[in-house]
Chains A and B, each alone.
Chain A
Amino acid sequence: MAKKLVKYAVVTIICLLLAYNSVYFKKLSDVNAANKSFNATEYAQNYLDQKLIPSIGKMPSTDTLLNLIKTNPSATFDKFSHAMDIGNIRYFITKGSGIITGLDEADVYITTPAHQNIRIATEYVFGNALRDAPGIININDFTNSGDLNNVSSELNKIIRSKVLPPFKSSVKKGDQIEYAGAFELNRQHLNTDSVEVIPFYLKIKR
């Protein structure tokens, strides 16, 4: 009888142990937080509203940058350009103004106060210029490269859908504009004759 009792007790303990280790409880809020997928659209909108637009005032002008690049390229690249990738492609964040000298389906052409001729992209707003140029996003904050690429993709989408249409519908030759954006240069094969700014802010001054 005692033997039977011990046997049942052992079996019961084993069953209880198995049952206890088979089930675990977590707070629902913790599970939801862990499963929350990265929202690139929200991230991009916050980045534009809270990081890029408020810092326009502190951005170097395109005239200043191009002048510095021509006189002291190495130091200017070191001080003002950023890129997440290693290599020769570097991005500069910038602001500026100018008079529109021409328009085509891909760009508006402007002459700046220092008589530099540059382009503002109005068609091909793609790539990483706006994401990388300020140098404030860290690649290692993202668990996979897909999320990181989606930040660029969503940011560019916002620019194409919200910033460009009102500008494109009313801009014309001779207008004076203000802009803020980013441009790309190849450090090893430097060409400042065809700078194209990817804009995130555009204003026609009338």
Chain B
Amino acid sequence: MKRLGIIFLLLLTITACKDRNGGSRKKMAVIVSTLNNPWFVFLAQTAAAQAESLGYDAKIFDSQNNTALESDNFDNAIASGYNAILFNPTDANGSVANVVKAKKAGVPVFCMDREVNSPNAATSQILSDSYSGCVDLAKYFVQTLHKKGNYVEILGIVADNNTWNRSKGFHSLVDYYPGLKMVAQQSADFDRNKAMEVMESILQAHPDIDAVFCGNDAMASGAYQALVGAGKAEHVKVFGFDGASDVIEAIKDKKISATCMQFPKVMAQTAANYADEYFKGKRDFPRKIQVAAELVTNNNIGDYIAFGKK
């Protein structure tokens, strides 16, 4: 009986090894921070579609913005024999341990859009250049407001590097204009409903504002909704970041002033292509590669569609 058990265990190990190292069809896990935001749904689905088009099996795991759940997703992906992880982290610091865990198990991780604070944990990180995008956005912000006015900043998830890269890029230019005064800065976790609540509450304390800068488009939509409710949407200019479909429509209708177009398709496809090249033996990947974000206003809206260019 004992011998049979050992033989069974050996067979199981051999099967698992065969699954990861070759022989059968390889698999890519797409672990995404949340599927509660259309932008991340698009990112995850594009990554999975690209993996499948390259001949691999792919499955999407939703971390629901929860690092504990993200950790479970990594455990599941590693135990289920996934050969690579296309990863959109929930927390720049908190997600490092998960990436390291995969690395130790011999599973390469390719980060998409969001960064982990470790230069060597991930095989490669394919990120949006949020800082530079927000410098361009800030220039348009200053020009639109004629260097004068009160404004509000609604931040994303505080533990995410993109939140601060966007905020720092924006302030690197706007702070040179003393006529522009930030009357409130609050986080709404990249969430539309939270942004609406935050904006409603800020408007109680600061009814006299001229503009709102939001760290993503979901929050820009929420803030705009609150401004409509308060009867201030005509006067207050709203700026977002992402290039989500409802904001692209709102820019066309001159309801939202501008956004920065990120290119989730480029990031997702690059991550899947890198994983494919990894399987084929390539190892010298850039540790970090940035994808340019482009300013979208009513002047050039004709060049863009949701999540990308025409």
Q: Which residues of A contact B (CB under 8 A)?
A: 83-89, 124, 126-128, 139-140, 143-146, 149, 152-153, 186, 188-189
Are the CB atoms of A139 and B288 closer together than 8 Å?
A: yes
Are the CB atoms of B291 and A86 closer together than 8 Å?
A: yes
A87-B266, A189-B300 known; A127-B136 Cβ under 8 A: yes
Are the CB atoms of B288 and A86 closer together than 8 Å?
A: no
What are 26 A-B residue pairs whose CB atoms fall within 8 Å in the complex? Answer: A84-B129, A85-B129, A85-B290, A86-B270, A86-B289, A87-B291, A89-B292, A126-B135, A126-B138, A126-B173, A128-B135, A139-B290, A140-B286, A140-B287, A144-B117, A144-B119, A145-B127, A145-B161, A145-B165, A146-B165, A149-B132, A149-B165, A149-B168, A188-B309, A189-B300, A189-B303
A85 to B131, CA, bound (A): 12
Q: List A contacts of B132 (CB < 8 A).
A: 85, 127-128, 149, 152
Shortest B277–chain A CB gap in Å is: 15
Q: Of B138, B172, B292, which is within 8 A of A153 by CB? A: B172
A144 to B119, CA, bound (A): 8
Q: List B contacts of A84 (CB < 8 A).
A: 129, 290
Are the CB atoms of B165 and A186 closer together than 8 Å?
A: no
Q: List B contacts of A153 (CB < 8 A).
A: 172
Q: Give 5 nearest A-B pairs by CB, closest first.
A: A87-B292, A85-B292, A89-B292, A85-B290, A149-B131
Q: List A contacts of B222 (CB < 8 A).
A: none
A145 to B129, CA, bound (A): 9
Are the CB atoms of A85 and B291 closer together than 8 Å?
A: yes
A149 to B131, CA, bound (A): 7
CB within 8 Å of A: which of B274-310? 286-292, 294, 300, 303, 309
A67 to B135, CA, bound (A): 29
Is B263 part of the binding interface, using a Cβ–Cβ cutoff of 8 Å? yes
Q: List A contacts of B287 (CB < 8 A).
A: 140
A140 to B142, CA, bound (A): 32
A85 to B286, CA, bound (A): 12
Q: List B contacts of A86 (CB < 8 A).
A: 266, 270, 289-292
A139 to B289, CA, bound (A): 8
Q: List A contacts of B309 (CB < 8 A).
A: 88, 188-189
A65 to B138, CA, bound (A): 29
A128 to B300, CA, bound (A): 21
A144 to B290, CA, bound (A): 12
Is B169 part of the binding interface, using a Cβ–Cβ cutoff of 8 Å? yes
Are the CB atoms of B291 and A145 closer together than 8 Å?
A: no
A89-B294, A127-B135 known; A145-B119 Cβ under 8 A: no
Is B200 part of the binding interface, using a Cβ–Cβ cutoff of 8 Å? no
A83 to B290, CA, bound (A): 10
Shortest B170–chain A CB gap in Å is: 11
Is B139 part of the binding interface, using a Cβ–Cβ cutoff of 8 Å? yes
Q: List A contacts of B172 (CB < 8 A).
A: 126, 149, 153
**Could you list 9 further interchain pairs (A-B, Cβ under 8 angstroms) beyond the known A87-B294, A88-B309?**
A86-B291, A88-B294, A126-B138, A127-B132, A139-B286, A139-B289, A140-B287, A145-B127, A149-B169
A128-B132, A149-B131, A149-B165 known; A143-B294 Cβ under 8 A: no
- Interface-centre pick from A83, A86, A188 (highest chain B CB count, 10 A): A86
A117 to B126, CA, bound (A): 38
A89 to B287, CA, bound (A): 21
Q: List B contacts of A126 (CB < 8 A).
A: 135, 138-139, 172-173
Q: List A contacts of B160 (CB < 8 A).
A: none
Shortest B179–chain A CB gap in Å is: 13
Shortest A2–chain B CB gap in Å is: 47
A145 to B131, CA, bound (A): 9
A143 to B287, CA, bound (A): 10
A140 to B284, CA, bound (A): 12
Task: Determine the residue in chain A with the shortest Cβ distance to B126.
Answer: A86
Are the CB atoms of B294 and A186 closer together than 8 Å?
A: yes
A102 to B28, CA, bound (A): 58
Task: Determine the residue in chain A with the shortest Cβ distance to B290.
Answer: A85
Shortest B162–chain A CB gap in Å is: 10
Q: List A contacts of B135 (CB < 8 A).
A: 126-128
Is B191 part of the binding interface, using a Cβ–Cβ cutoff of 8 Å? no
Shortest B280–chain A CB gap in Å is: 21
- Interface-centre pick from B127, B161, B292 (highest chain A CB count, 10 A): B292
Shortest A16–chain B CB gap in Å is: 34
CB within 8 Å of A: which of B88-137? 115, 117, 119, 127, 129, 131-132, 135-136
Are the CB atoms of A88 and B292 closer together than 8 Å?
A: yes
